Each structure stands twice: as structure tokens, then as C-alpha cells.
Structure 1
Amino acid sequence: MSGPNKFGSPPGQDPEGAASASGTARSKGASQSSAAGRIARAVASAVLIVLTCVLVPVALLATWVHDIALDTDRYVSTVKPLATEPAVQDAAVHRITEAVGVRVNGEQAASDIADWLVTQGLPARAADALKGLGPQLDAAVNQAVTKVATDVVRSKAFVTVWTDANRVAHNAVVHALTGKGRGAVGVSEGTVTLDLGTVVEQVKQKLVDAGLKPAEHIPTVNKQMVLFQSDQLAKARKGARLLDIVGNWFPILVVLLGVAGVTLARGRRRALARTALGAAFACLVVAIALVVARHYYLDHLSPEVQSKAAAAEVFDTLVRFLRVSLRTAIVLGIVIALGTYFIGPGRLPVAVRGRSERTADATARWAAAHQVRTGRVGTWAQTYRRAITLVALLVVALVFALWNYPTVLTVLLLVLVLLAVLAVLALLAASGRQAAEGRPAAPSRPGDAQG
């Protein structure tokens, strides 16, 4: 029986073959580990990108709750224009007239006057005729009340009353959404009402001053005007309280999730485009859902809401900021996706970039022919063009992030500014290339020719 050979390997086994097999095993192990790492990164990137797309509209909703519903100044400035909306004014006039007119009975007044005149010798037939004027007297009184209420509501004083009432009422709106605080607005079973007592008292005083003495006896009556009504209001409190807690930090968290997802992706340019389009699509879905919710809300108003037009104005005003934010996010997502597409290797982006460079070169040659040169600035722009472009992108992104309530117009304005900067940079870089290509060789000195 033979023992191990001189290389220490068992009989019949080639030591070089053993080493090769060991190396192959290690290579396979490393390859499998690398593949597993790539799969893990791809899965993590996909999860983060999907979360980002889903959470972008939620972040906008959190900002709306935090900045509109829970900020007194923003809330008051949002609802202040409602005081001049015809639909809201008509609803206020109707509610005030109803509150005042319920205590002024023309028929009863005519009957009392007729009875009193009978005691003074008025014939019964004439008294009956006077009693028949009751409906006309009642209509005249109601018309007078409506006219006075309309004058009060459409005056500048009503804007002040409306603004002050909503400012005092803000705590109750907070209560409606988060269950905290109270105010001049009543919140009961999903119905938010505004107290018009000050306006009713003004109308009452104007009627008395005009000579309508029965208005003095108008007692304190229900003067509530329904601002908003929803059976789901109580159910939404938990969600609103959560959104209030996360507040302005939630959008930052969503951005960080998106950055992490794009960074982990293998193709970052495509991942960025997909994230932008996915977020834009999610915001579009929420915007459509908001339209559907508006129609559903208006079609299912309770009888307490006396004016559908006024309810529509209130709803549209309160969600205006959210709508603008959703539209802005949609446009921003499309702009980012288009930007990533036009810096890619596709046929159209390459053709567009090539045409832009040729145009810049032609402009630089024309400028050089007319003795217009950029000197060191052009050379510097050509040398550091990529870095300058990156800085410009970061500056525009920072301006957008710090912009107070950006809109679609803000996005388009920043895009135009960025394109203008890139166009100027392209012209400067083309001038730098033109100067480098046309620079003559340095003249030789006399001593250089002698060896």
C-alpha cells in the first residue's frame, strides 16, 4: 500500500488539481455572495422607492393639516376670501333673515291692529279687510329684513366680523380634526358651525333704527351657520392627530427614503426617473380621489347645510392648498423624469445635446470672428463645466426646498432659470474650446535653436 506522495497529497490526487478545485470553490462562493448582495440591494431599493411614491401625497396631506388646519394665521388668511363669495354671502343672508324673521309675524301684527281699531269704532267689514292685508304686511317685513341683512353682509364690516369669528373659531376647527381645543365654532357629530350672532344683532339694530319696532322684541335665537358637515369627521380625528404629530418632518423623511432608494439602485438615473414618475402618479391618484370626494360630499349634504353652493365654496377653499401641492408635485415629478431622460444615452437626448453643442460652437465662432471673447472665464467654464452644472442643480433644488409653498409656476420658473444657466454655461464652454483650438503655438526663443 502506497502512502502520501512527496507533496503531502493522498495517493492518486494531483496537488495542482486540488488547489484549482479549492480556488474554484472560493470563486463560486464569492460569486454567490456578490449575487446575493446585488439582489438584496435591488430589493431594498425597490421597497424604498415604492414607499417614497406612496408617501409623497401623504407628506403633502401632513403639511396641509399642520400648516392650514392647525395654524391660525394661515387658516384665517385661507377662509377670509369666503366673506366676499356670493354663494357664502347668500347663505349668510338666508340664515340671518331666517333667524330674525321667525319673530316678526305680519299676519299677527295686522290682526292686532285691526282688533285695536275695532275697539276705536272701526266697522267689522273694514277690520276684516285690514286683517286680509296680513300676508302682504308679512311679505313686506320679510323683504325689509332681507334687504337690511343683504346690506350688512355685503358691507366691509361683514368681512371684519367673518375674519374675527374665524380667528376665534380656529380652536374648534382644531378640535374637529384632532379633538383638542374649543372655540366659537361648534363641532357636533361631524358638523362645524359658525356663530353669526354679531351680524344678527347688527341687523336687529338697523331694523329698529329704521322704525320697525317689533324688531326690538327679537329674542336670542339660534344663529349658527353650517360651515362643514361630514359623517366621517370623527373617524378622521386619529389620522389628523397622527399627521399633526409628524408635521413638517414627514416630508423630509420621505425625501431621505427616496434618496436612499435611488442610491441603492444599480441604474440610478433610471431609478430617479421611476421614483419621480411614481410619485407624480400617486399624487395624480390622490388628486382624482379628491375630486370624487368633493362630488360625494356635495351629493350627501345633510339638511342642516342650507346652501350647496356655499358648501362647495367652503370645501374648495379649505383644500385649495392641498390641490396646489398635488399639482406642483405632479409637474415636478414629470420635470425630473424628463431631465433624467435628456441626460441619458437615448437617440433623442443625444441628438438634442449634440444640436445644442453645435449651436453653442457656431455662436462661439461667430463671436470670435467679431472679436468677442470670454478669455479665462470661457476656459474655466470648459474645464469645470460638470462641477458647475452640478452646483447649479443643487442650488435650484435648495431654492425649491426653501420656497414657501411652491406652486406649478414656481417649478416652471426654476426650470427656466436652470435652462438659462445651462445655456450660458454652454456658450462659455464653447468659447473656451474655441480659444483653445485657435490658440497659436508659442514662438521659439533665439537660444532654443542652438544645440
Structure 2
Amino acid sequence: MSSPANAERPAARAPSRARRAGRGFSAAASGVLLVVTALLVPLAILSGWARLDIGDVDEYVGTMEPLASNEHVQADIAAAVTDRVMRELDTGPLQDTVAEFVESAIRSFTTTETFRTGWNAANREAHGAVQRALREGDGNGAVTLNLAPITQQVKDQLEADGVPFADRVPVEDVEVTILEAHRFPAARQSFRLLQEAGLWLAGAAVVTAAVGLLLARRRARAAVLTCLGGALACGALLIGIVIGRRATLDDLPRDVSEASAAAVFDALASAPRTLAWAVLGGLLVLALVIAVLAGLRRTRPARR
């Protein structure tokens, strides 16, 4: 016959197995949540950029504003306006001379505050088209910048300087292409999803990190690994930006300047690139601090 003590052993083992199973589930859930946290970090950066920097008209204009001082952009605008102007003028043997004079006048104008004001106004007007091209793919996805306000100011300046034929300078139908979203349908779909997600992804990253760390048995180690994973994901985002830049510049139409396209890409990518570097550095520092504090805690002599 079995003793009462032996009869109680299976019953005692059952809670022990249940506890081990519970700990195993918690560890697995913690690992999954912390991996998700690391993956959400770059997505949160991109969604914030899509919603706040590109989605907001004032932020978008502020992003594009420095391009007004870019020499390559200025040269392309001067060339586009000059080409349109000279198509309307027939000055006979003086055609080339007049063209050089007009382009020189326009290049000089692009360095003025008046030009920067017109540039900002043109970008503000184009913002809606940029949004539609990136989110919905309206038309062929090409977004052009209407230079009519700038051309009008150039015309007024030429007339004030007494330039012959200045009154015949056309004001309408002077445009430059700033975006061809139709060449990147997958990126366009991703942009729409990221913009709709907005700041929710950042909140989701905080929640998954908090729950994952609460479920972790060795929280300091889990926190360090999560920080390193997030930093690695930010590094992947930075590499992706570099690859995207190269792909964009390698597939430009013939009539689009590579230097100007690079300037536009760099302006648009400036915010997520800067934030990715900041988050990457912050996560590495945080991982180091947690590791040092955990090490000091382990080496601290126990109180008697």
C-alpha cells in the first residue's frame, strides 16, 4: 500500500509543471513582444514623418524651403523658365544673345527673397497634388511645380529693366516635375498605410515594450536586447534610405536633373534620417546604461 506522502507527490508535481509551463509561455510572449517593439521603431519613425512632415502643409513647405537656395534647383528653374520664354520670342539673329540675357536675369532673380517667397507659395499650392500622388495615385503620379508666380515676377523685373519683348514673356504653363510617384507603386501603398497609422505605431511600440518587459524574467537583459534590436532596425532604415536614394537617381527621366532630384530626395528624407540617427544613438546609450547598472547591481556585496 502506498503511504499518504506518496499519494500527495503527483498532486504536488502538477502545480510545479503548471508554473513551468506558465513561465515558458511568459518568456515566449515576452520575446515576441520585444521583437515586435524593435520592428515598430523604424515604422513609427516613418509614420510620424508621413503624417507630420509630409501630411502637414506648413511642415511640407518648411521641408522644401531650403531648396530655394540650392544652386542646382535654381539652375533648373532658370533653364525651364528661359526655355518657355524663348519659345514665345523670335528675335532673329539675336535669339542666343537674348536667351543668355534672360537666363542670366532669371538666375540672378533666384537668389532674391522674392524668389524664395514665390517658391514657398508654389510648394504650398503643390502640396495637395503631392498628397494625392503619394496616397491615391491620381493621374500618372507625376507632380509638377507651377512656376507661374515666379515667371510673373521675372516678367515684371524684365519690364522694369526695359528689356525688349519682356511684355511677351508667357506666365502660364511653366512647370517642373518634383515627384513621379507612379514609378514606385509599392512605396506609394506603404506611404498611405504609414500616414493613416500616424502616431499609433509609436504608441504601439511603447505598449509592446512595457508588456514585454513585464513578462520577462530577466528584465535588464531583455531591455538591453530590445534597445539593441531597435537600434539595429534603425540602422536598417538608414540603409533603406540610401538604397531608395540610389534607386531613385538611377531611374530618372532624361529631362530631370540628377543633382536637383538628389536635392529634393535629401530634403524629403532629412527628417526620418535625422530622427533615425537620433533614436539609434539614444537606444545604444540606453542599452549601455542599463547593462552597466545591471552589472553594478550584480557585483554589489550582499548585506548581512
Fold shared per TM-score above 0.5: yes
Matched residue type, 2:238: A
Q: Is the 8 A contact 1:207 1:215 kept in 2?
A: yes
Deviations 1:77-128 (A, max 9, x none): 121111111121111111111111122234xx3xxxxxxxxxxxxxxxxxxx
In structure 2, what is the Cα distance between the partners aligned to 1:289 and 1:237?
15
Q: Deviations 1:296-333 (Å, cap 9, x if unpaired)?
A: 1111111242x211111111111111001100111111
Structure 2 residue matching 1:204: 3-state secondary structure: helix
1:434: which partner in 2? Answer: none
Rounded Cα–Cα distance in structure 1 between residues aligned with 2:243 and 2:192: 24
Question: Secondary structure of the equivalent of 1:222?
Answer: coil
Query: Does residue 70 of structure 1 match 2:27?
Result: no
Q: Which residue of 1 aligns with 2:20?
A: 35
How high is the TM-score relative to the length of structure 2? 0.91
Q: How does 1:360-375 map to 2 (within 5 A)?
A: none
1:259-278 CA-partner distances (Å, limit 9, x unpaired): 11111011000000000000
TM-score normalised over the length of structure 1: 0.63
1:156 aligns with 2:126: no
Moved more, 198-207 or 287-296: 198-207
1:84 aligns with 2:69: yes
Indicate conservation of the 8 Å contact 1:99/1:200, yes or no: no
Q: Determine which structure has the larger helix proportion and give its number.
A: 2
Distance of 2:128 and 2:217 partners within structure 1:
50
Q: Identify which of 61, 77, 81 aligns with 1:96.
A: 81
Structure 1: give runs of 5+ residues left out of the alignment. Answer: 1-12, 110-133, 181-186, 355-451
Deviation at 1:211, TM superposition (A): 4.2
Deviations 1:315-353 (A, max 9, x none): 111111100110011111101110111112379x95xx9
The residue number in structure 2 matching 1:383 is none
Distance (whole Å) between structure 1 residues aligned to residue 108 and residue 81 of structure 2? 12
Please give the secondary structure, in 2, of the residue aligned with 1:236.
helix
1:270 is matched with which residue?
221
Q: 1:318 aligns with which of 260, 264, 268?
A: 268
Task: Work out which of the residue numbers 168, 174, 190 in structure 1 matches 2:125.
Answer: 168
> Aligned residue pairs: how many?
301
* Preserved CA contact (<8 Å) 2:126 2:145: yes
Give the aligned partner of residue 283 of structure 1: 234
In structure 2, give the amino acid aligned to 1:329: V
Partner secondary structure for residue 252 of structure 2? coil
Matching residue of 1:330: 280
- 1:294-309 to structure 2, matched below 5 A, reads 294-305=245-256, 307-309=257-259
Root mean square deviation, CA, Å: 2.2
Give the letter aligned to residue 248 of structure 1. L
Q: Any gaps of 5 or more consecutive residues in structure 2?
A: none
Residue 6 (structure 2) pairs with residue 21 (structure 1): yes
What SS does structure 1 have at the residue aligned with 2:165? helix
- Tell me if the contact between 2:134 and 2:141 (Cα under 8 Å) persists in the aligned partners: no
* Percentage of pairs with the same residue: 33
Distance 1:195 1:221 in 2: 8
Deviation at 1:212, TM superposition (A): 4.2
Asked if structure 1 preserves the Cα contact closer than 8 Å seen for 2:82 and 2:103, the reply is yes
Partner of 1:144: 101
Counterpart of 1:52 in structure 2 is 37
Letter in 1 for 2:268: L
Relative CO higher for 1 or 2, CA cutoff 8 Å, sep ≥ 6? 2
CA distance in 2, matches of 1:162, 1:212: 24
CA positional deviation for 1:238 = 3.1
| Greater Rg over alpha carbons, structure | 1
1:233 offset after TM fit, Å? 4.2
Quote how far apart the aligned CAs of 1:25 are.
Answer: 0.4
